[in-house]
């Protein structure tokens, strides 16, 4: 079984499998130097990816994320950890076609919320996917999956048109639903 990124669905599943593995092992895979832990991480990524593809598991409901927001993570800015002047931030901004639902909300301080503005998480972190907080990654991946599923592009081998699907390109589906600028998410992930 290959982790090759072939379709929009597979790209999302691969990133979600990496998110699960990093949460289970409580590590940032980009900073692990211990070869044993790295092998354990990649083994877990392969296992979770395979289970997602086969349908043995699915991307969890937002209940866990919402509980975390309310029971602790919700008392701090998800981006910087500040506990003052908290607001609700839309992960995919409404102005970019993001839904106005709990799945698209995280707590952010006023400063981070203003800095993020109408950027997607990929844009806000300038392509540094591993620096995006786990809760934001998980919700972002679910939002991307739901919108691509709604539009019938989960099995697309090119997205946007003429480009291989990459996590950094997939938020363009929200721009397309508005008829706005396409492919505004950063490239290179």
Q: How far is CA 22 from each of CA 19, 144, 155, 162, 176, rounded to the nearest angstrom? A: 5, 20, 26, 32, 32
Residue 33 predicted with pLDDT over 80: yes
Residue 42 predicted with pLDDT over 70: yes
In angstroms, rounded to a whole number, what is the distance separating the alpha carbons of residues 89 and 107? 6
Q: Which two tokens stand for residue 19?
A: 């998110």
Tell me what pLDDT residue 62 has.
43
Is 73 a member of any domain?
yes
Give residue 90's region: left, alpha or beta (phi > 0; psi -120 to 50).
Answer: beta
- Number of domains comprising the chain: 1
Residue 130 predicted with pLDDT over 90: no
Is 185 a member of any domain?
no
Is 188 a member of any domain?
no
Residue 184 predicted with pLDDT over 70: no
pLDDT in tens, 78-119: 999 999 999 999 999 999 889 998 889 999 999 999 999 999
In angstroms, rounded to a whole number, what is the distance separating the alpha carbons of residues 168 and 12? 11
Is 82 a member of any domain?
yes
Is 12 a member of any domain?
yes
Q: Which two tokens stand for residue 147?
A: 């919108």
Range of the domain at 145: 8-178
């Amino acid at each position: 079984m290959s982790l090759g990124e072939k379709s929009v669905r597979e790209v999302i599943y691969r990133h979600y499998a990496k998110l699960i593995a990093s949460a289970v092992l409580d590590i940032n895979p980009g900073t692990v130097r211990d070869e044993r832990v790295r092998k354990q991480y990649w083994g877990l990524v392969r296992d979770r990816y395979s289970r997602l593809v086969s349908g043995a598991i699915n991307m969890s409901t937002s209940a866990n994320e919402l509980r975390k927001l309310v029971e602790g993570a919700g008392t701090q800015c998800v981006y910087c950890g500040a506990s003052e002047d908290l607001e609700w931030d839309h992960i995919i901004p409404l102005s970019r076609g993001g839904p106005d639902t709990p799945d698209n909300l995280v707590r952010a301080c006023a400063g981070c919320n203003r800095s993020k503005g109408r950027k997607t998480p990929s844009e806000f972190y300038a392509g540094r996917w591993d620096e995006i907080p786990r809760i934001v990654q998980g919700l972002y991946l679910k939002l991307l999956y739901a919108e691509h599923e709604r539009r019938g592009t989960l099995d697309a081998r090119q997205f946007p048109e003429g480009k291989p699907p990459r996590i950094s390109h997939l938020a363009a589906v929200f721009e397309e639903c508005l008829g706005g600028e396409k492919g505004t998410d950063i490239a290179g992930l």
